[in-house]
Structure 1
Amino acid sequence: MSPYRARVLANYSNGLPAITLSHYGSGVGVLITFNPVEELIEHNPEIIDIYAHLAILALSERLGKPKIPIGELVLITLKKVFSHPFFLGALVFIILEIIAYLGFLPFGVTVLLAIPFLPFSKLLLKEECSKILEKVQTLRGVTLENLARELRKPPRRLKLPLVLLFLKKKIVILDLSPMDVRDSLVTPRGSESEGVAQWAIKRYPLLMREIIKNPRIRVIELAYRVDMPPYDVLRLLRELSRYGVVELKKAVVDYEVRPLDPLLRWSEV
């Protein structure tokens, strides 16, 4: 007995085909006419070598690998690339870098994303950084909003140059939200006290004038003179004391306020 269009690879002892190989298109089909699991377990543990030989033979008998249309192959490749964790992470990082460059992120996040720009800061935004640094050094302390007005640019477009200057230790960026101001104060590094003192004189001229004219004035009396709630005055003075602008000293039932050198120097200008 001879199978039709098939090649016999092994016969039983009675001459009948045990294993045959046939070609189907560009593929190969192998027919085993006995139970390979039963043969492996009960009769011949070495039959696994026969399976390996059949696999190698079948692969070598193929006419060629299945052909995939170019369009489908491109889609499969792109899907693999886009779903790769490294690509997704790089894509998210690039998007965040663009958003940071455009100034849509808070200063804290922009600082982290600006670190890769630091080695190229002499090439990128060199002119903007120079103008900003010159203006900050001249004014000693300026809010982001006023700085943007001076340079005639939107505040968000100044964030990345400011962060680069901060990373290069040229300036300091102070958050004014603890003093109920939704803005940031930019000062030269090492001149934070002078910068905050200047800002306080412009922001609260009557309050600062009373402190300068009346050293050791009590907070309650000061609040009464400037027509502000005592708690708001005390909270503001506590923040100013952190930057060395004023000194708060606990009294019996109140606090005494004393102006310090940065505030006194600006009052003389």
Structure 2
Amino acid sequence: MRGLKVLPSGRPGRGRLYVNLPDGQAVAWYDRQANRISVLADDHREAVLAVLRPYLSGTVSIGPPPVPTAGDLRRLALPPDADLAPNRPGETLLGELEHGAAGTRARHRLRQDLTAQQRMGDAFDALEPEGWRTLHCVPLPGFGPIDHLVIGPAGIFCVRTIPGRRQRAVVGDLLVTVGRAEPRPDPRWIRGAAARATALLAAKVTPALAVVDASRLETAPTVRDIRVLQPPTATPDLVASPTALKPPDVEALFAQARDTETWLPGRPHSSLAGV
């Protein structure tokens, strides 16, 4: 059948490939981790195999889909342009560097921010086999984009990335200071962003600061509500944290968070609740 389109779900090389009709309706998907094609409409079986053939490797199983989870149903109804999962780490900064007219100094700062976000984003993405899911550059009206929203067994973390620039970094209750640069209000920002995300997702979101490439990191003893992360121990620390979410909860929250409608301006605050 002509007109079938293959659309990725998630970042390149990860997640599923969905096969859609021209009107956007999904008729099948290919799970690359399980190496299985799930066909929703059997009359399209041969056409689905033909359009997916360039993406297949090894022995592939094919058949009807398993009983869909709530996350599966939500993903099937989600238009590709409303899906945040394909966002790359630093997606917003990439656009600013490509189209912005900032001066040399400002562009240098943007590149430092981008490098830090890409490093942390790659580290978070690598947790996927451990049952974690990550979104990058999540638009949060009134605050600006969340660098990384990390959802996994230990809970949900709203992460702001700070380039350490190989200098001493000090995290205080209200400000972060890197070297001799002007202090940044990142602690206040991340608290507000996490509180807003908590309301929208109706699940506890923990604020976190990831300080990348600092020569030394100091955190004030009074900073107890913000998770302070630093490579290379950042992701091992998350994995070793106590379990707070079961795998179905992780997938359901990821399905909710990847939908741009979740973050729309004017959306009423949900009641604060744990999952």
- TM-score normalised by the chain length of structure 2: 0.25
- TM-score normalised by the chain length of structure 1: 0.26
Query: Which of structures 1 and 2 has the larger relative contact order (alpha carbons within 8 angstroms, sep 6+)?
Result: 2
Larger strand percent: 2
